[in-house]
Structure 1
Amino acid sequence: MNKKIKSNIVTRRVPFEFPDDIHPHWTPDRPEFAHMWNGLSLTMPYLEPYLIRTMREGLKRVDDPAVLADGFAFIAQEGQHYQVHQRFNDMLKNNGYPELAEIEKGMEKYYARLSKKSLAHRMAYSAGFESMTLGATRFIIEERSKNFLNADSRVASFWLWHMVEETEHKNCAYDAYQAACGGYFTRAFGVLHGTWGVFWPGIKAAALMLKKDGLWYNWRSRLNFYKYVASFLKYVLPYIARSMMPGHTPRSEKDSEWVKEWLRSYPSEMTLAEAPLVDTSTPAMPVPKMKFIKTEVNHAVV
């Protein structure tokens, strides 16, 4: 019998709410940036349940108690994430973009097909996507002063929280893949597959919303959108390249000081009384300090 181990990855129940008074252009001067992230949000309630199902199945092949504990903590965090994204996406559809439901149908079919692939293929997809998110986190954290300045704090804070926790569990999908399946070439392909599987429908959703706004055929707006995509890729592509190298692990990537401060501020299993909102009126956007209700969540694995 394995010794009980508790993961250092924690579950934070954060009550982010998105009432209909939130404008889909939550960065008023940068609607193209808002829609790029709105489009990526649309993918999360389809991607993250897939990641959870794949992790749960993969852990049946794992004996290492530390990998098991982290794997179940990963499941708990991702479960929180996709539920919040679903509320946000519902707000977008209610606020002028019901056509997004067609893209959602396409993603539902895509992940249904993907779920029929081999476990090694599916776990490599998960590990590859999770490796790519480290670049997305670096982009969203390091560029926060430029991209989130004067944004709706409820949306900006939600994205920052999500990406901080993506960094916290950055090793889980990789470790589970290595323990359950292993194999370099499948993992390397999974980096490309996992990135494309989320990036492409997210871009399609962003373009749909910009078309609905009448901005897609405005050359200035289209150029702005491409600039944001290029800025995003400038951060992400080096992570993709490194993740595909033999012997690379997510542990090789250093966490930013802002991410470390956020994690120190919310160090244990908790239910927050209210969502921690970043002050987007100041370029520094320091980590918010909030009171929380401590709860016990047992991720120990026997």
Structure 2
Amino acid sequence: MTDLHVRKMDFAFEDHEVPFLWNPENPAFSSMANAVSFLAIGFEKMIVKMVLQAKPHFTNGNVAEEADAFMRQEGQHSTAHRQHVRGLIRHYPGLQQTLDEVIGAYDELTADTSLNYRLAYTADLEATFTPVFKLMLDNDAALFRPGDDRVASLFIWHFVEEVEHRSSALILFDDVVGSDAYRMRMAPSVFKHVLDVIKIACRGFNEHVPLEERKIDAMSMFANYRRKQKLLSVIPGLTAADHGPMPRAFDALPLGEQLVALVGIIRSQMPKHNPAHENLPALADLWFERFDAGYDVTRWYTADSAAPGVN
């Protein structure tokens, strides 16, 4: 029987300003998180179709129940991120084209690849989320707290639920495909596709969001891009397009914690990986405790300070 819970959230993005630079202290992280919103809409749409297609192939009722809860959680994430992105599009209408391109990339993946491949894609990518999101949630004071509370709360909710269903995608993959060798062979193309989609979003930010509002080159999260820009700037006769400064989102985070997350990402792709054994962010337990106690988790930092566990 699945332990997942489907929680419906309303962050009221229709009722208030949705800033692109939602954490002014870290423009690079603001841009990265916004790109996650765009990717999430396409990726989670793919997951829903994948689970529906996979249902006849599940071998037992427990897997089918896990798949249903996983799909419904992802559906809620997609709905909330659509609301976030719609708020951005209200200010920057050109981002509608960016969203269409991101969704189109996942629609093509659904149409052009096998069910087995998409199960591997989902298992590979979801396996990386726990170490990556632990790094973020363990450093919420720098990455989330200084920002717009509703946008921060959206990502905190999404990331803790990704931790909650950290084993789901691999459970589905193992039941239908069950080949670590296949999953590992597919990993390079999986992560290339993920990065290509994020680049679609970041290029769209550079094109449609004025520099004075995004503050940085949205492509600066890609090391190869940063190196290319710096190389072009020193070659006589060549000029690199100047889209702004190129900081990294995690520059202020402890290097040791970044290395731990990197090791966790590598470990997540190894044979017999079991996400259930991963170290978890303490903030996830606190989030679930507060949610169960009735705390308004859509305003994580500004809701009633008398709620349980709030300092």
* TM-score band w.r.t. shorter chain: 0.7 to 0.9
Q: Contact conserved, 2:149 with 2:302, CA < 8 A, in 1?
A: yes
Equivalence for 1:55: 51
CA drift at 1:275:
4.8
Structure 1 ranges of 4+ moved more than 6 A: 228-233
SS in 2 for 1:69: helix
Between the aligned partners of 1:101 and 1:80, the Cα distance in structure 2 is 21
Q: Which residue of 1 aligns with 2:210?
A: 213
How far has the Cα of 1:229 moved from its partner?
11
1:76 Cα deviation from its structure 2 partner: 1.0
Q: How far has the Cα of 1:205 moved from its partner? A: 2.1
Cα pair 2:125 2:191 within 8 Å, conserved: yes
CA distance in 2, matches of 1:149, 1:178: 38
TM-score normalised by length of structure 2: 0.78
Residue 99 of structure 2 is aligned with which of 89, 101, 104?
104
Structure 1 residue aligned with 2:62: 66
- Cα 1:52–1:266 change in 2 (3 A) is same
* Aligned partner of 2:298 among 258, 276, 280: 276
Please give the alpha-carbon distance, in whole angstroms, between the structure 1 residues aligned to 2:130 and 2:171: 16
Alpha-carbon distance change, 153 to 289 in structure 1, aligned in 2, over 3 angstroms: farther
Q: 1:138 to 1:101 in 2, by over 3 A?
A: same
User: In the alignment, is the contact (CA less than 8 A) between 1:278 and 1:287 conserved in 2?
Assistant: no
Question: Residue type matched to 2:12 in 1?
Answer: E
| Larger displacement relative to structure 2 (137-146 or 155-164) | 137-146
Residue 223 of structure 1 aligns with which residue? 247
CA contact (8 A) 1:125 1:194 kept: yes
Q: Which segments of 5 or more consecutive residues in structure 1 lack a partner in the other structure? A: 291-302
Greater mean deviation of Cα atoms: 199-208 or 257-266: 199-208
Query: Which deviates the most, 227-236 or 62-71?
Result: 227-236
CA contact (8 A) 1:52 1:78 kept: yes
Question: What amino acid sits opposite 1:89 in the alignment?
Answer: V
Q: Deviation at 1:104?
A: 2.5
1:134 corresponds to 2:130: yes
- Are 2:27 and 1:31 aligned? yes
- Do the aligned partners of residues 194 and 57 (structure 1) sit closer, same or farther apart at CA in structure 2, a change above 3 Å counting? same
1:227 Cα deviation after fit: 4.0
Give, in angstroms, the shift of residue 75 of structure 1.
Answer: 0.9
What corresponds to 1:22 in structure 2?
18
Give me the whole-angstrom Cα distance separating, in 2, the residues matched to 1:287 and 1:57.
Answer: 46
Assess if the C-alpha contact under 8 Å between 2:102 and 2:200 holds in 1: no
Asked if structure 1 preserves the Cα contact closer than 8 Å seen for 2:102 and 2:201, the reply is no
1:151 aligns to what?
Answer: 147
Q: Is the 8 A contact 2:184 2:269 kept in 1?
A: yes
What SS does structure 1 have at the residue aligned with 2:59?
Answer: coil
Q: Determine the C-alpha separation between the residues in 1 that align with 2:43 and 2:265.
A: 18
CA contact (8 A) 1:59 1:180 kept: no
SS in 1 for 2:100: helix
Tell me the equivalent position of 2:236.
none
Name the structure 2 match of 1:239. Answer: 264
Task: Summarize the Cα distance change of 1:135–1:46 in structure 2 as closer, same or farther, 3 Å threshold.
Answer: same
Deviation per residue, 1:29-62 (Å, 9 max, x gap): 2222211111121111111010111122223211
Gaps (5+ residues) in structure 2? 218-241
Whether 2:273 is the aligned partner of 1:248: answer yes
Amino acid at match of 1:247: K
Q: Which residue matches 2:221?
A: none
CA distance in structure 1 between the partners assigned to 2:165 and 2:47 by the alignment = 13
Q: Distance in 2 between matches of 1:15 and 1:176?
A: 29
Q: How far, CA to CA, are the matches of 1:195 and 1:288 in structure 2?
A: 40
Cα distance in structure 1, aligned partners of 2:253 and 2:199: 9
- What percent of counterpart residues are identical? 22
Q: Report what 2:76 is aligned to.
A: 80
Per mean C-alpha deviation after superposition, the further-off stretch among 17-26 and 178-187 is: 17-26
Verify: 1:261 aligned to 2:291, yes or no. Answer: no
Correspondent of 1:42 among 34, 38, 41: 38
Output the CA distance in 1 between the equivalents of 2:94 and 2:20: 14
| C-alpha RMSD over aligned residues | 3.1
CA distance in 2, matches of 1:87, 1:137: 22
Give the letter aligned to residue 248 of structure 1.
H
The alpha carbon displacement at 1:235 in A equals: 5.9
